[in-house]
Amino acid sequence: MATLEANRTVEAVWRIESARVIAGLTRMVHDVGLAEELAQDALVAALEQWPESGVPDNPGAWLMAIAKRRAIDQFRRRDTLERKVVELGRDLETQEAPNAEPDFDAIDSNIGDNLLRLVFISCHPVLSTEARVALTLRLLGGLTTEEVARAFLTPEPTIAQRIVRAKKTLAKKKVPFEVPNAAELGERLASVCEVVYLVFNEGYSATGGEDWMRPALCEDAMRLGRMLAELVPAEREVHGLVALMEIQASRARARLGPDKQPVLLFDQDRSRWDQLLIRRGLAALARAERLPGEPGPYELQAAIAACHARARTPEETDWARIAARYARLVQLLPSPVVELNRAVALSMAFGPAMGLEIVDRLTAEPSLKTYHLLPSVRGDLLAKLDRHAEASEEFTRAAELTRNEAERSLLLDRAKESADRAGSL
Amino acid sequence: MRFMVIRRADADTEAGAPASEELIDAMTRYNEELVRAGVMLDGAGLAPSSAGAIVEFSGGSTRVIDGPFAEAKELIAGYTMVRADSLQEVVELVKRWPTLDGGGNVEIEIRRIGETDEYDMSDELKEKEHQMRAQAEANRGE
Amino acid sequence: MRFMVMVKHLENDPNMPEPDEEMFASMARYNEELVKAGVLLAGEGLHPSDQGALVTFRDGVPTVTDGPFAEGKELVGGYWLLEVKSREEVLEWVKRIPADAAVTSRVEVRQVLSDDD
């Protein structure tokens, strides 16, 4: 193999195998930082040997064998074996009975369990969100530090430091390598989903074209989400998260206009929506809905996105269904913005008066004081109710608040239009 | 039922010749019609075989052969997956393929997509396959 | 990056054995690995050409030929659509496709064009 191609091949195998290798090693040595170092040693060995010998038939097993051997060497050489045994004995979180030595054979049992443990430890609440994101992308996404840095437009040394500190924190706080118990599972899973969705949004809201890394972030997030869905298939919210990401991603090609300005959902060319991703998203949503329990925020947002995805034209949108989903969503996420969205959906389904009732209440909301969409929506509803003078005032106020030039001029147009109609009455 | 509509490759697609504005418009409108009709399940063009590869499996080992590959007619330039009640329906759709494509000379293959029940597998494997498909594919049962 | 991975074969090839239960099981396991890794977007088998049709346009005029139409050419027997980070990654996945060691089989790998291409 030519060297560049050989390196890329090793990287590709790393992307496929590394999470499992690290997970298995962590199970073995009870230290995720050490596990990653050992895995990296195996990677170096692969980079040295595979260009000559070719990629082995079972690359995952090869990497694991090298790492395992290094682990045993290290323990014996550094005389930490005895110390580790004492630590293990003292560690109340350890699930196996006190052993004479670290269980070097435990790694092969239950790859799925180990992967899941790795997911939970990477997203542990003791770490900052930034640290969780960097660690998860490294350990589970198989990204290099450089790739993570590029993805978040942050200098590489900063990310490297962040990861080192994260591993130290996990070791210092003796965070156990385990799947949370039933009582904590919901909350811990929410933390994992938060990390994945954060990565997705980072990629999704980036302007297209300029940095090629950014759309790839959406792919990374979806891949992590899909992996998670197979690790915890009984969890509704995980399928909801996958559904939400896939349906949102389906609109990527329609989201930016020729001038690279964002296009609102209702103005998008729906024939550019990715039908494959829509179907996958709908399937993931159906999978969530078949499970016991109540829908969580991700599933509800996915259900709303699904209503839009199913409508071939904006006129076919099932607004009543969207309004109902927002009603449930606002109970889980009592945010004024969600309530505003509910108002819009209600007005589309049952007439502007119904929506206005809610929007009027929201004008008192302090957090929405500078939110341009509030007066914008209120203006729209007032105009539909032929209260044009008031509508004009609202559009003017919205135009003052928005920072988007295109939107400002649109709002000013509507303000004038409403003023004219008020004047002609 | 689901069908795969395969636009076979030719010298131009293999050369990566850029499509004219008119052809792009025509194909876009054609695909939009399929979406509006609710029959479009997926569709895309493929990069020329010069960027592709063939992996050959023989005697338990593999060999990667980089493109380009000689027989353009055996290659695919693009695909569209559609939903239809019959082969005849798909034939009618394909007859409306933009004639600008390939300068009016193009071969389009229509193949029926296999649904799990039709293959000879034991029940347990079928069930597993069903589950796997439910996970990976949105169109079960439609 | 999306790739189309296509199993190509001659229809009614006398040298190609019928897939047995073991092959189906291996394929099921392989598909499961793709799903667990989060890289599988779609995967389908195609019925032989006798259940299809060929539409040939000559000077803008279509002629329909009912299947079979294999004519000794290699056709697509089945495919996967995979989302991965590089060409090298898709090739690694393809190398893991279960294959009958007694015969030679071919899998074609082509990148799916996106808007940026």
Query: Domain containing C67 — which CATH number?
Result: 3.30.70.1060
Neighbours of chain A (3+ CB pairs under 8 A): B, C
Measured CA to CA, the distance from residue A423 to residue A399 in angstroms comes to 20
**Count of the separate structural domains present in chain B:** 1
Where does the pLDDT of residue A258 fall: very low under 50, low under 70, confident under 90, or very high at 90 and above? confident
- Residue whose structure tokens are 């969600």: A338
Provide the percentage of residues in chain A whose pLDDT is more than 70: 90
CATH of residue B53: 3.30.70.1060
Residue B6 pLDDT exceeds 90: yes
- The answer to whether B76 and B46 are in contact (CB under 8 A) is yes
B132 to chain A: closest CA residue:
A230
Residue B125 pLDDT exceeds 70: no
Residue B65 pLDDT exceeds 80: yes
| Cβ <8 Å between A271 and B42 | no
Q: Does the residue C72 lie in any domain? A: yes
Where does the pLDDT of residue A101 fall: very low under 50, low under 70, confident under 90, or very high at 90 and above? very low
Where does the pLDDT of residue B92 fall: very low under 50, low under 70, confident under 90, or very high at 90 and above? very high
Residue of B118 and A294 predicted with greater confidence: A294
Residue of A413 and A4 predicted with greater confidence: A413
| Cβ <8 Å between B47 and C107 | no
pLDDT at A425: 64
| Cβ <8 Å between B76 and C4 | yes
Q: Does the residue C48 lie in any domain? A: yes
Most A CBs within 10 A among B35, B39, B133, hence the mutation to make, goes to: B35
Q: How far is A143 from chain C (nearest CA, A)?
A: 10
A232 to chain C: closest CA residue:
C36
Q: pLDDT (tens digit, 9 = 90+) per residue, C86-108?
A: 999 999 999 999 998 888 889 99
C86 to chain A: closest CA residue:
A12
Q: Does the residue B128 lie in any domain? A: no
A5 to chain C: closest CA residue:
C88
Q: pLDDT (tens digit, 9 = 90+) per residue, A145-202?
A: 999 998 888 999 999 999 999 999 999 999 999 999 999 999 999 999 999 999 999 8
pLDDT at C116: 59
| Helix, strand or coil, per DSSP, at residue A80 | helix
Q: Does the residue C101 lie in any domain? A: yes
Provide the percentage of residues in chain A whose pLDDT is more than 90: 74
Whole-structure pTM value: 0.89
- Residue whose structure tokens are 């500190």: A165
> Which of B6, B45, B90 is the closest to C113 by Cβ?
B45
Most C CBs within 10 A among B5, B101, B132, B135, hence the mutation to make, goes to: B132
| Cβ <8 Å between C89 and A219 | no
The verdict on A234 touching B (C-beta cutoff 8 Å) is no
Which chain A residues are Cβ-neighbours of B135 within 8 angstroms? Answer: 229-230, 283, 287
| Cβ <8 Å between A8 and C88 | yes
Q: Does the residue B88 lie in any domain? A: yes
| Cβ <8 Å between C32 and B121 | no
Provide the percentage of residues in chain B whose pLDDT is more than 70: 81
Q: Does the residue C116 lie in any domain? A: no
- The answer to whether A287 and B135 are in contact (CB under 8 A) is yes
**Count of the separate structural domains present in chain C:** 1
Q: Measure Cα distances from B69 to B16, B65, B74, C75 in Å.
A: 14, 9, 9, 15
Neighbours of chain C (3+ CB pairs under 8 A): A, B
Where does the pLDDT of residue A107 fall: very low under 50, low under 70, confident under 90, or very high at 90 and above? very low
Q: How far is C-alpha A131 from the chain's CA centre? A: 14
Which DSSP string corresponds to C75-96?
A: EEEEEEEEE-S-HHHHHHHHHT
Q: Does the residue C91 lie in any domain? A: yes
> Which of B53, B90, B128 is the closest to C109 by Cβ?
B53
Q: How far is C-alpha A107 from the chain's CA centre? A: 28
User: What is the sign, positive or negative, of the torsion defined by CA atoms of C24, C30, C36, C40?
Assistant: negative
Listed as own residue / partner, the contacts of A399-404 with beta carbons closer than 8 Å and 24 or more positions apart are: A399/A372, A401/A370, A401/A371, A401/A372, A401/A375, A402/A372, A402/A376
Where does the pLDDT of residue A109 fall: very low under 50, low under 70, confident under 90, or very high at 90 and above? low
B29 to chain A: closest CA residue:
A271
Q: pLDDT (tens digit, 9 = 90+) per residue, A283-316?
A: 999 999 999 999 999 999 999 999 999 998 999 9
- Residue whose structure tokens are 């690995």: C33
Most A CBs within 10 A among C44, C84, C85, hence the mutation to make, goes to: C85
Domain span at C102:
2-111
| Cβ <8 Å between B38 and A312 | yes
- The answer to whether A329 and A351 are in contact (CB under 8 A) is no
Q: Measure Cα distances from A191 to A43, A99, A316 in Å.
A: 30, 32, 36
The verdict on A227 touching C (C-beta cutoff 8 Å) is yes
Q: Does the residue C47 lie in any domain? A: yes
Residue A207 pLDDT exceeds 60: no
Domain span at B42:
2-115
Angle at A414 between CA A263 and CA A382, to 5 degrees: 105
> Which of C35, C88, C115 is the closest to A9 by Cβ?
C88
How many beta-carbon pairs below 8 A join chains A and C? 52
Measured CA to CA, the distance from residue A303 to residue C32 in angstroms comes to 27
Which chain A residues are Cβ-neighbours of C115 within 8 angstroms? Answer: 253
pLDDT at B122: 47
| Cβ <8 Å between C51 and B94 | no
Neighbours of chain B (3+ CB pairs under 8 A): A, C
